[in-house]
A and B are shown apart, each in its own frame.
Chain A
Amino acid sequence: MRESTFDSGGRAVAVPMPRRAAATKAEYIQRFDAHQRLQHFLMMSSFIVLALTGFPQKFAELGISQSFVSTMGGLETVRAIHRGAGFVMLANCSYHLAYLCNRIVVQKRYSALAMIPRPRDALDAFQMVRYFLGLTSEKPKFDRFSYVEKFDYWAIFWGIPMMGGSGLVLLFAAQVTNILPGEIVPLAHTIHSDEALLAVSWIAIVHMFNAHLAPGIFPFNPAIFTGKLRKDRYEHEHPLEYERMMARQNNRPETARPVRPEPTDPETGSEGG
């Protein structure tokens, strides 16, 4: 068992700790609710299936693609699985949008709005580059979501209409061309193929690194699966939100039971999840 502390530069340093001591000392903060975790799981699993069944079609000239398709029982089977996973992803996106509507419009809980890009994100990115280049010793302080997390999220908002829309056009090509010009079919093929390469490259290299492999996070960040993030890591990775949560907790002494504060909306200070 290892416990994290931080060096002068704000970097997490792993320090060995006795297992029992760590288990009792570690305190967690709820970061994602069950809906968000389920949405991420569905997105992740459908994405993996789509990539595994889509890339052999994109790179059909490779022997490994032909072997994979043959092992799976033929192209028709692979395409059926691919389409099934595509519908799971589209259903998951509908689930997410309904979840957002319910949370914001019905429940009046605004923490999800923290995902909206703000000018501060550009300043954070600029400061991060300066930090990388050694021009400053201070990393930017992030709120509930860093600019990298926001980019990941909004990239999906761009990618889903591109991939889902073009996929549906290819699946129902004859019906679609009863309404739209025939040029829509080769256009959809281009978009589906090229956007897939972009999405897989980004997720496999950049998202995986930033979410799990980056210094201070390596080897794995369980927050999106367990919903919880250890308190010290929360303070390190999302200091602005952490400070706000602690300030609110200090103002409400009746909540001084084991620390499990709900994240807050950064703009309004109202409770969120």
Chain B
Amino acid sequence: MEMSRNRAKWALLGAVVLAALLAACSRGGDGPEDAADDAARAHLTDAEAPSTYLCLACHSQGGTVSNGIWGISRELQGVAPDAFFTSAHGEMACAECHEGQTALPHEKFSGTGEPLVLARDGNVCRTCHGGTAEHFLDSVHGTAVRLGDERAPACTDCHSVHAVQPIKTWTASEKATACAKCHDGADATFAGALTHVEPTVDRLPVDYIATRFFGALLVAVVGVGILHVELDILRWLKEKLTRKSREGK
């Protein structure tokens, strides 16, 4: 009941802001110095981060074309409210991920018509999912991200943008569907082993053993090889010094 009242309150506030925005858009190209925009910006400061409902006042209308404050025509990023509120991030405010997007016009929007996206390297996700993001960056996918591959998958390419669900709740076929977006023929078996955590005895035991085995093999083989090289050089040095001292006498 309390939640419904809150939603209604924010929806009303959102509608008011939306009306102000539409008015600004209709004037198109007045520039950020325009008094109405200043008023909107002053209203939406970081100190009063807008709630999800306020953002949804505009962004629930996916595909709405806005001329924006600079008169640049673009489509708003659509967010389905129901899907978002029932997602794993449903309790979070938009600005927790979309940092800096608390003022109007959105300061981080480039104004070039490019859609506003989260950083591909998982920097935003890392704030909460630190270990997972690190492991992701060490993976084949993360390597592509780090090396600037245009096809590299960002976190949101597999986990969806605004309808993300806890991975534990994913069915095998949902995982396979996510993988098959890029990997033709990927099935549940393919997706089954994908994880963003270090292998352990319980999770991916064969990979865990292989990691330890190859680490030990590297140290043992290269260690013995380097020792062999060093002994060879030392013996040669010793002979050289002995010969020199003999010649000196």
Q: Indicate if the CB atoms of B207 and A186 lie closer than 8 Å.
A: yes
Asked whether, in the complex, the Cβ of B147 is within 8 Å of the Cβ of A75, the reply is yes
Q: Is the CB of A190 within 8 A of B184?
A: no
With beta carbons under 8 angstroms apart, the residue of B137, B147, B150, B226 that contacts A206 is: B226
B106 within 8 A of A: no
Of the four ranges (under 10, 10 to 19, 20 to 34, 35 or more), the interface on chain B belongs to 35 or more
Segment among A36-44, A86-94, A130-138, A236-244 that sits at the interface with chain B: A130-138
Q: Report how many residues on chain A are interfacial, defined by Cβ distance under 8 Å.
A: 50
B13 at the interface (CB under 8 A from A): no
Give A contacts to B, CB under 8 Å: 7, 9, 11, 56-57, 60-61, 65-66, 69-70, 74-76, 78, 129, 131-134, 148, 155, 170, 173-175, 177-178, 181-187, 189-191, 194-195, 197-198, 201-202, 205-206, 209-210, 214-215
- Which of A66, A131, A178, A195 is within 8 Å of B146, CB to CB? A66
Determine whether B160 belongs to the interface, using a CB cutoff of 8 Å to chain A. Answer: no
Closest to A137 in B: B239
CB distance from B118 to the nearest CB of A (A): 20
Chain A residues with CB below 8 A from B217, complex form: 194, 198
Say yes or no: A173 contacts B222, CB within 8 Å.
Answer: no
* A194–B206 alpha-carbon span in the complex (Å): 15
- Pick the contact of B142: A60, A185, A191 (CB < 8 A): A60
Say if the beta carbon of B34 comes within 8 Å of chain A: no
Residue of chain A at shortest CB distance from B229: A209
Q: Which of A9, A60, A148, A187 contacts B206 (CB 8 A)?
A: A187
Give complex CA distance A104, B230 in Å.
38
Please measure, in the bound complex, the distance between the C-alpha atom of A183 and the C-alpha atom of B148, giving whole angstroms: 27
Given A182-B193, A185-B190, does the pair A11, B142 have CB atoms closer than 8 Å? no
**A129: which B residues are within 8 A, CB to CB?**
231
With both chains docked as a complex, state the minimum distance between the C-beta of B137 and any C-beta of chain A, in angstroms.
Answer: 7
Complex Cα distance A194/B185, Å? 28
Interface membership of B76, Cβ < 8 A: no
Cβ-based interface call for B35 (8 A): no
Given the complex, which residues of A lie within 8 Å of B204, measured CB to CB? 183, 186-187
Q: B225 — nearest CB in chain A belongs to which residue?
A: A206
Interchain CA distance A84-B211 in the complex, whole Å: 27
Contact check, B214 vs A190: say whether CB atoms are below 8 A apart.
yes
Within 8 A of A (CB), among B137-184: 137, 139-140, 142-144, 146-152, 179, 183-184
| Contact indicator A186/B183 (Cβ below 8 Å) | no
Question: Which listed residue, A133, A173, A183, A195, touches B183 by the CB 8 Å rule?
Answer: A173
Residues of A within 8 Å of B221, CB to CB, are 155, 198, 202
Q: Are B190 and A201 in contact (CB under 8 A)?
A: no
Report if A75-B218 is in contact (Cβ < 8 Å); known contacts: A129-B231, A206-B226: no
Which residues of chain B have C-beta atoms less than 8 A from A205's C-beta? 222, 225-226, 229
B191 in contact (CB, < 8 A) = yes
Complex interface: chain B residues within 8 A of A134 (CB): 235, 238
Does B215 sit at the interface, judged by CB under 8 A? yes
Give the most central of B185, B210, B217, B238: most A CB within 10 Å: B210
Chain B residues whose C-beta falls within 8 Å of the C-beta of A133 in the assembled complex? 231, 235
B218–A183 CB distance below 8 A: no
Taking the closest CB of chain A, its distance from the CB of B124, in whole angstroms, is: 18
Contact B149 A170 (CB under 8 A): no
Residues of A within 8 Å of B62, CB to CB, are none
Complex CA–CA separation, A97 to B139 (angstroms) = 34
B109 CB within 8 Å of chain A: no
Proximity string of chain B (217-249) to chain A, C-beta cutoff 8 Å, 1 when within and 0 when not: 110011001101101111110110001000000
Q: Which residue of A lies closest to B139 (CB)?
A: A189
Residue of B nearest to A155 (CB): B221
Q: List 21 A-B contacts (CB under 8 A).
A: A11-B239, A56-B147, A57-B147, A60-B143, A61-B146, A69-B148, A78-B147, A132-B234, A134-B235, A173-B183, A178-B189, A182-B193, A182-B194, A186-B194, A186-B204, A186-B207, A195-B214, A197-B218, A201-B222, A205-B226, A215-B233
Contacts A74-B148, A134-B238, A215-B233; is A191 near B190 (CB within 8 Å)?
A: no
